[in-house]
């Protein structure tokens, strides 16, 4: 092939099997010279999630008590108030924390007399169902699952009922479970049982629930102290306010696991079902553990959801009960994590660093990200082994988590309302999204929240609509412009993170800093993308939404199974475009608008595909193409020829 005289081929010698060519080569016709367009501007402002102007749990969490006569009403008890959406479904006998509670007058507040509620549904002391459809669905769900549960499900339900909750949920750590239990010194005395055989008396766990604290435990003692402090928060106040019976009292068709029959309470007037205490305790423990080991954040949350499901499978609780336990616990942990002394960065850092250091040392991991890899690498195929990872599938976890957020209930209140984010809730993502500001984490929670209208989803603060699993996968919408600055030198998720949500909205994304952010959702955000530094990974064909893309520095790394679709224009002034191609035509860029290349580099590698000498790769197709790369490098080939022809950029592989 002959080159036009004005075009020069300047091969550079590279080591091993790659070469860089600084050249421009084409196949006739005049070369366009379009100017570099302006960067995308998006909406022009960031989104916000202001604190709602209502009484906040973060300010009043200490009122979640049943021992003070001044904290017995909806208005004066934070633990009751956070679950006030239940009043759409059920009117309790009295609107006081008074089931089995008698309090003398104190602090200027009147005495409290115990409610006449007997705990038996339908009698003269009982409350009233306000939404018969939701109530019937709530109890019918328990009937169905308890009548159809397997022996394995019955055993899991039994173990989660009888074991102490901190020990039970620690298997959400997957391959790290046995190491964690060893370092925390967690034990249990309940190993197994035939769940289908009734027991003459309940068996209690005499093990060590969370483990041993820092006074005698140098491995994970600070972590144990931390979890114990954050897990402090009782469900008894709302239980004794709402006075809603357990499902097996509502219907004899609910079948309690036979081995748990002897564990059923004989005092129904103090044995309300809503909210579930076991579920809430599991959530408090797992949220604290997830703060310390964010590598397993979503898996731990999925384990907490499983605890709730097992409470239903046991026959002891209903879906609304376990939903209430989750909501209550989320508020409790956020309050504790934002309160003195736990708000101290020194206290939080010491517990976090101890957990990370111990696990990295025990696994032989060099750093946070190496531990992250270890934590997601199967260690055993034996499902009876403590380190077996039941939560290895992200897609399965996401589906089960989403279903258990609402348990299939229909929306009973107005839909489509803008979500509010409770004061202090952003702290729950502090170690999972450390490179975002507190305000940005609030916006993440806002953009990933449940739609409005579901049961328990209408508390004024917004606790009932939080979807922490989705929030751990980054933004759900860009309803404002988002600037992400990741400093790789800080390590952990600052160095490398992935957003797996399907991101919508009219805002734009600006990537700054030396770290790597990967996008893998079916994204449709339209404000554009600007890459200035670090690496932006496009791991799906629509990773960069539908707007313009402007590369002014850093590396745009495309690993999608197929060509990356650019919905607007593509511009590159500097930096590197890194393509991972799966065939001669798959793995490049398909640009709907113009592609203007004013410099920068192109690097090509291959995945599942080994091209032969003589192959021509199509790396870019655009509406109109202008300009050339400074250099082109192709893994495995020392001789390549770029072909800038019309609206395409191709690369011919001439020799290895």
Residue 136 makes CB contacts below 8 A (sequence gap 6+) with none
Residue 565 backbone phi and psi in degrees, to 5: -90, 125
Cα 475 versus chain centre, distance? 10
Reported as a single tens digit per residue, the pLDDT across 231-252 is: 889 999 999 999 999 999 999 9
405: left (phi over 0), alpha (psi -120 to 50) or beta: alpha
Judge contact between 606 and 636, C-beta under 8 A.
Answer: yes
Q: What percent of the chain has pLDDT over 90?
A: 93
Judge contact between 316 and 246, C-beta under 8 A.
Answer: yes
Q: How far apart, in whole angstroms, are the C-alpha atoms of residue 368 and residue 385?
A: 25
* pLDDT for the residue numbered 520: 98
* Edge-to-edge strand list for the sheet holding 639-645: 564-566, 589-591, 616-621, 648-655, 639-645
| C-alpha distance from residue 302 to each of 220, 282, 402, 426, 561 (Å) | 23, 11, 10, 19, 28
* pLDDT for the residue numbered 22: 39
Q: Is the pLDDT of residue 23 over 70?
A: no
Q: Is the pLDDT of residue 523 over 50?
A: yes
* CA-wise closest residue to 365 among 516, 185, 498, 175: 175
Class at the top of the CATH hierarchy for domain 132-411: mainly alpha
3-state SS, residue 534:
coil
Task: DSSP for 566-629, please give it.
Answer: ESS-EEESSSEEEEEESSSSSSSEEESSEEEE-S-EEEEEESS--PPTT-EEEEEE-SEEEE--
Q: How far apart, in whole angstroms, are the C-alpha atoms of residue 316 and residue 298?
A: 26
Q: Is the pLDDT of residue 351 over 80?
A: yes
For residue 1, what pLDDT band results from cuts at 50, 70 and 90?
very low
Token representation of residue 236: 């008894």
* pLDDT for the residue numbered 343: 73
Q: Tell me, what DSSP letter sits at residue 477? A: B
Reported as a single tens digit per residue, the pLDDT across 60-115 is: 999 999 999 999 999 999 999 999 999 999 999 999 999 999 999 999 999 999 99
* pLDDT for the residue numbered 232: 87
* pLDDT for the residue numbered 30: 59
Q: How far apart, in whole angstroms, are the C-alpha atoms of residue 365 and residue 367?
A: 6
Q: How far apart, in whole angstroms, are the C-alpha atoms of residue 83 and residue 324?
A: 7
3-state SS, residue 184:
helix
539: left (phi over 0), alpha (psi -120 to 50) or beta: alpha
Q: How far apart, in whole angstroms, are the C-alpha atoms of residue 4 and residue 28?
A: 9
Q: Is the pLDDT of residue 29 over 50?
A: no
Token representation of residue 323: 């939903």
* pLDDT for the residue numbered 340: 75
Q: How far apart, in whole angstroms, are the C-alpha atoms of residue 595 and residue 608?
A: 28
CB-side neighbour CA atoms (13 Å) of 584: 11
Judge contact between 425 and 327, C-beta under 8 A.
Answer: no
Is beta strand 20-23 parallel, antiparallel or unpaired with respect to 90-91? unpaired
Reported as a single tens digit per residue, the pLDDT across 560-576 is: 999 999 999 999 999 99
Q: How far apart, in whole angstroms, are the C-alpha atoms of residue 438 and residue 80?
A: 27
Reported as a single tens digit per residue, the pLDDT across 307-335 is: 999 999 999 999 999 999 999 999 999 99
Can you give the pTM of this predicted structure? 0.94
For residue 2, what pLDDT band results from cuts at 50, 70 and 90?
very low
Residue ranges per structural domain of the chain: 9-41+478-655, 132-411
Token representation of residue 316: 């002891």
Whether omega for the bond prior to residue 341 falls within 30 degrees of 0, making it cis, is: yes
Q: How far apart, in whole angstroms, are the C-alpha atoms of residue 77 and residue 164?
A: 27
Q: Which residue has the higher pLDDT, 318 or 343?
A: 318
Q: How far apart, in whole angstroms, are the C-alpha atoms of residue 283 and residue 351?
A: 19
Token representation of residue 299: 């898996």
Q: What percent of the chain has pLDDT over 70?
A: 95
Q: Is the pLDDT of residue 28 over 90?
A: no
Q: What is the CA radius of gyration of the chain?
A: 29
3-state SS, residue 183:
helix
Reported as a single tens digit per residue, the pLDDT across 361-398 is: 999 999 999 999 999 999 999 999 999 999 999 999 99
* CA-wise closest residue to 333 among 295, 283, 299, 297: 283
Q: Is the pLDDT of residue 429 over 70?
A: yes
Q: Find the mean pLDDT for residues 536-564.
A: 97
Residue 654 backbone phi and psi in degrees, to 5: -95, -20
For residue 17, what pLDDT band results from cuts at 50, 70 and 90?
very low
Three-class secondary structure assignment of 611-643: CCCCCEEEEEECCEEEECCCEEEECCCCEEEEE
The H-or-E segment that residue 158 falls in is: helix 151-162
The H-or-E segment that residue 652 falls in is: strand 648-655
Task: DSSP for 97-140, please give it.
Answer: S-TT--B--BTTB--BPPP---S-TTSTT--EES-HHHHHHHHH
Residue 256 makes CB contacts below 8 A (sequence gap 6+) with 146, 248, 264, 314, 315, 316
* CA-wise closest residue to 283 among 220, 233, 219: 233
For residue 21, what pLDDT band results from cuts at 50, 70 and 90?
very low
Residue 14 makes CB contacts below 8 A (sequence gap 6+) with 20, 633, 638
For residue 356, what pLDDT band results from cuts at 50, 70 and 90?
very high
């Amino acid at each position: 092939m002959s080159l036009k005289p004005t075009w020069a081929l300047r091969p550079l010698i590279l080591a091993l099997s790659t070469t860089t060519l600084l050249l421009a080569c084409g196949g006739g016709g005049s070369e366009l010279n379009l100017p570099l367009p302006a960067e995308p501007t998006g909406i022009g402002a960031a989104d916000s999630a202001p604190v709602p102007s209502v009484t906040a749990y973060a300010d009043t969490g200490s009122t979640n008590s049943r021992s003070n006569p001044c904290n017995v009403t909806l208005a004066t008890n934070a633990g009751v108030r956070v679950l006030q959406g239940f009043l759409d479904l059920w009117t309790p006998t009295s609107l006081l924390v008074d089931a089995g509670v008698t309090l003398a007058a104190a602090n200027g507040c009147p005495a409290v007399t115990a409610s006449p509620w007997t705990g038996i549904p339908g009698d003269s002391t009982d409350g009233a169902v306000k939404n018969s459809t939701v109530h019937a669905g709530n109890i019918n769900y328990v009937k169905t699952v308890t009548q159809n549960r397997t022996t394995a499900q019955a055993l899991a339900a039994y173990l989660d009922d009888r074991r102490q909750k901190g020990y039970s949920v620690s298997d959400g750590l997957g391959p790290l479970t046995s190491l964690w239990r060893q370092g925390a010194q967690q034990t249990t005395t309940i190993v197994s049982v035939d769940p289908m055989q009734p027991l003459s008396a309940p068996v209690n766990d005499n093990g060590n629930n969370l483990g041993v604290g820092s006074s005698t435990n140098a491995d994970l003692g600070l972590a144990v102290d931390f979890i114990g402090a954050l897990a402090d928060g009782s469900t008894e106040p709302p239980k004794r306010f709402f006075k809603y019976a357990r499902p097996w009292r509502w219907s004899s068709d609910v079948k309690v696991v036979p081995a748990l029959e002897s564990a059923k309470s004989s005092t129904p007037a103090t044995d309300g079902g809503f909210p579930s205490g076991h579920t809430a305790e599991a959530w408090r423990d797992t949220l604290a553990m997830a703060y310390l080991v964010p590598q397993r954040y979503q898996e731990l949350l999925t384990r907490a959801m499983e605890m709730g499901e097992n409470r239903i499978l046991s026959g002891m609780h209903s879906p609304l009960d376990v939903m209430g336990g989750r909501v209550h616990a989320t508020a409790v942990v956020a309050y504790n994590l934002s309160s003195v002394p736990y708000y101290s960065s020194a206290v939080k850092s010491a517990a976090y660093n101890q957990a990370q250091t111990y696990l990295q040392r025990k696994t032989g991991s060099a750093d946070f990200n190496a531990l992250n890899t270890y934590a997601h690498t199967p260690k055993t195929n034996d499902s009876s082994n403590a380190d077996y990872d039941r939560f290895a599938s992200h897609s399965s976890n996401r589906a089960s988590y989403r279903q258990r957020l609402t348990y299939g209930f229909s929306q009973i209140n107005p839909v489509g309302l803008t979500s509010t984010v409770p004061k202090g809730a952003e702290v729950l993502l502090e170690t999972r999204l450390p490179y975002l500001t507190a305000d940005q984490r609030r916006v993440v929670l806002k953009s990933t929240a449940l739609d409005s209208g579901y049961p328990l989803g209408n508390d004024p603060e917004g606790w009932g609509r939080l979807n922490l699993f989705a929030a751990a996968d980054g933004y759900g919408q860009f309803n404002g412009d988002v600037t992400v600055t990741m400093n790789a030198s800080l390590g952990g998720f600052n160095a490398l993170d992935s957003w797996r949500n399907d991101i919508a909205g009219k805002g734009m994304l600006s990537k700054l800093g030396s770290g790597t952010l990967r996008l893998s959702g079916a994204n449709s955000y339209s404000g554009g993308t600007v890459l200035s530094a670090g690496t932006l990974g496009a791991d799906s064909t629509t990773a960069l939404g539908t707007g313009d893309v402007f590369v002014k520095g850093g590396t745009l790394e495309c690993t999608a199974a197929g060509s990356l679709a650019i919905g607007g224009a593509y511009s590159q002034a500097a930096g590197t475009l890194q393509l991972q191609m799966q065939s001669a035509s798959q793995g490049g860029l398909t640009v709907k608008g113009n592609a203007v290349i004013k410099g920068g580099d192109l690097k090509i590698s291959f995945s599942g595909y080994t091209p032969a000498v003589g192959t021509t790769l199509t790396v870019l197709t655009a509406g109109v193409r202008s300009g050339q790369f400074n250099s082109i490098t192709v893994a495995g080939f020392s001789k390549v020829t770029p072909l800038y022809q019309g609206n395409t950029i191709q690369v011919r592989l001439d020799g290895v």
